């Protein structure tokens, strides 16, 4: 197992740590509890890897379309003004044109791998996923039209070319792109979650490095813990991530609140199409996209 700690970025505060078993223990007992918990979590990671490797669920993941990159891409060069950035963050769009209808299905393609035909989201539904409000008297982005095109997107099987709606924005020469292909249905995990092992769930998957040799995830750090760490167990089919409760030298009572932190984990070899798993839940680490993060982390 290898781990690397990255620059820590606080995202959200106020999470309960009761499930992680952090309390007002002495430094000595806290260290022993942390060591015991780490050993149990490492054993659990091996169980999760054994359940997934060669399983039907793993085969479904390898054959399906599961985006792990941002499905909305801004115009080239990004948004030009603070007002436009505010409008995008608040999802305030105004439609100043008609939206087309398109084909029911489209092809997702990978280099050197079999293509996959997937249902497509209609342009109107794709626009509504972008626009939760339409307040003309507030900073807003104006959409004047759309057409079906393509975009590059990172997936669990590597980089793919996917059908996308290209929305024309007033004042921009290049479109805002929104992936149109519907992701595949996730398989049922071959192993259930555990609730009696000390550790933190992997809250969210953020990104994979360009060379595939590291992944960045978000985990919880207790206020009474040392800096968070994420360990990886690599097999041919999976990368199982676990975040043990860290020891602390602080005496007295610990609070039951913590912060979400970004941690970058180095891998022995590129992640490629191996499934990224959470040791505690036994499930793939969720990718929530840009809107699943605080703006400070993007």
Question: Distance (Å, rounded) from C-alpha 259 to C-alpha 34?
Answer: 19
Q: Are 292 and 68 in contact (CB under 8 A)?
A: no
| Average predicted confidence (pLDDT) for the chain | 84
SS3 for 140?
Answer: coil
Residue 190: the pLDDT is 97
Half-sphere exposure of 184 (CA within 13 A, CB side): 21
Q: Are 242 and 203 in contact (CB under 8 A)?
A: no
Q: Is the pTM of this model over 0.95?
A: no
pLDDT tens for each residue of 75-133 = 999 999 999 999 999 999 999 989 999 899 999 999 989 999 999 999 999 999 999 98
Pick from 75, 267, 55, 37: which is nearest to 174 by CA? 75
Q: The tokens of 52 are what?
A: 């997934």
Q: Residue 214 forms beta bridges with which residues?
A: 266
> What are the start-end ranges of the H helices in the chain?
27-52, 56-63, 82-89, 123-130
3-state helix, strand, coil in the chain (%, to 5): 20, 30, 50
Residue 30: the pLDDT is 56
Q: Are 167 and 143 in contact (CB under 8 A)?
A: yes
Q: Are 220 and 44 in contact (CB under 8 A)?
A: no
Kindly list the structural domains of the chain, giving each domain's residue range(s) and its CATH number in brackets, ordered by start.
Answer: 18-61+189-297 (no CATH), 69-179 (2.40.128)
Residue 298: the pLDDT is 28
Give the containing element (helix H, strand E) for 34: helix 27-52
Whether the pLDDT of residue 149 is over 90: the answer is yes
Q: Are 40 and 245 in contact (CB under 8 A)?
A: no
Question: Distance (Å, rounded) from C-alpha 59 to C-alpha 17?
Answer: 35
pLDDT tens for each residue of 211-236 = 999 999 999 877 777 777 899 999 99
pLDDT tens for each residue of 3-61 = 444 334 444 433 444 434 444 344 455 555 566 778 999 999 999 999 999 999 999 99
């Amino acid at each position: 197992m290898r781990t690397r700690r990255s620059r820590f970025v606080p995202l959200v505060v106020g999470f309960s740590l009761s499930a992680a078993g952090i309390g007002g223990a002495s430094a000595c007992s806290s260290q022993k509890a942390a060591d015991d918990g780490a050993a149990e979590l490492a054993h659990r990671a091996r169980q999760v890897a054994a359940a997934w490797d060669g399983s039907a669920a793993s085969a479904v993941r390898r054959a399906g379309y599961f985006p792990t990159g941002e499905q909305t891409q801004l115009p080239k060069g990004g948004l030009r003004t603070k007002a436009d950035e505010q409008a995008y963050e608040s999802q305030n769009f105004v439609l100043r044109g008609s939206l087309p209808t398109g084909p029911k299905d489209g092809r997702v393609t990978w280099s050197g791998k079999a293509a996959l035909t997937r249902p497509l989201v209609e342009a109107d539904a794709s626009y509504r996923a972008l626009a939760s409000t339409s307040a003309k008297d507030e900073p807003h982005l104006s959409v004047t039209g759309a057409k079906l095109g393509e975009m590059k997107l990172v997936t669990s099987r590597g980089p793919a070319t996917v059908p996308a709606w290209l929305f024309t924005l007033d004042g921009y020469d290049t479109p805002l792109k929104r992936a149109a292909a519907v992701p595949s249905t996730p398989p049922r995990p071959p192993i259930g979650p555990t609730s009696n092992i000390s550790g933190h769930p992997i809250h969210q998957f953020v990104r994979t490095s360009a060379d595939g040799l590291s992944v960045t995830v978000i985990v919880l750090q207790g206020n009474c813990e040392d800096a968070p760490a994420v360990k990886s167990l690599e097999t041919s089919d999976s990368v199982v991530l676990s975040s043990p409760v860290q020891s602390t030298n602080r005496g007295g009572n610990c609070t039951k609140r913590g912060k979400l932190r970004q941690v970058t984990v180095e891998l022995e070899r590129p992640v490629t199409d191996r499934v990224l798993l959470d040791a505690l839940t036994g499930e793939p680490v969720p990718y929530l996209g840009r809107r699943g993060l605080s703006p400070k982390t993007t």
